[in-house]
Structure 1
Amino acid sequence: RALGTSFLIATLSSVCALIFALLIFASPGGVRFREVVKLLSILPLGMGALTLSLGFLLAYSLAPFTFLDPFSGNFTVILFLHAVLLLPLGYRFLVPVLSEGESIGRKNARFAARSLGGGFFTAFRRVEWPYYRKGVSDFLRLAWVWSFADLAIVSFFTAEDRITLPTLVARLMGRYEFHSAALVLFIMTAISFIVLFLGKSGESRT
């Protein structure tokens, strides 16, 4: 059950972070507005997961959030916090690729593809996606592993019937079951390496 919960949180939060990063890039406004958005997107680097999680936990005790119970394992909060913390990673991997995609050369390639009879999705699949694929793939792999191994956020909002592998490790170590904790850590490490390196090798073959 802990393995399944960790997989679910990592998958959904990495996708949410990808959506947030794309929305930031697509935000309207001039250069100055883009710089402000960029600054806000890298703020989580200075706060840290533990600080941000504790802040959300304390905010739950204030109006109008008093009806929420943070210890019920609020799944939405976990995903939101993970996505916010992954924003700097998204900005690092996605924005340079997307910005280059807005260059005159890329726009001409899109125009040529559509002029030859290709629809929007056909042009995107044939012209755009091969160019964006590496940045999106790198971001999703790193975001997934980061979220999969995170303890600080989940530990504040974990319900008893929905624990993750990092939380399980912390509880096992608290009960001095170090051999069991080491086994869980080995499983986490193996899965992380598989996601990072097998995904990359598959991308290279493509």
Structure 2
Amino acid sequence: MPGSSESSSSSRQLSDTPSPRRLLSSSKVYEGRIWDVVSDAFELAEDSGTLVRDYIDHPGAVAVLPMNGDGDILLLKQYRHPVGMDLWEIPAGLLDIEGEDFVVGAARELAEEADLQAAQWNVLADFFNSPGSSSEAIRIYLARGLSDVPEAERHVRTDEEAEIELRWVSLDEAVAAVLEGRLHNPSAVVGILAAAAARAGGFSGLRPGNTPWPAHPSQR
């Protein structure tokens, strides 16, 4: 039976795992304003030969899928210059404040980009944005129990963020937009599909917001 050998030999939980390799050297080849490019020389196994890989050294990021009491989600439209498009996204940002709690960082982005605060936080998904070329790790939260940030405390958005447009949509509408190829932002795509899957179980299987995140660069 196709696939039977794999399933019979794999009763272990399906999970990505750390895989330390012998690092021979590491050097910074480009220093940017937000992230750097490094070049690592390493061995897959002893005396297997040296491999060299260049990649973006990234501080990681958090993203937030806000959901109201009706089950609708908030998306925001923002211009992204590298792809030359206005993308429908979810609030997100870099974890570029050293030592900042991940949920605190997510709450900051939710307030700055959507003028919202949340009483309930759960983890929707963790993923690597482009593991063949970047160390960037992203955690997506589901934020519920929403309320408005007081007017006097709201963040003044500048540059591309000044053009942000907010829209509440049903989760089903967002899922359809993903499956029809109309949404492209990775955090939005992953977050929307994860929320739809979690909804089937009444969101009871989601991890608490303070769940450890060992895959984040600061924890590895």
Taking structure 1 as the reference length, the TM-score comes to 0.20
- Which structure carries more strand by proportion? 2
Q: Which has the higher contact order (CA 8 A, sep 6+)?
A: 1
Taking structure 2 as the reference length, the TM-score comes to 0.20
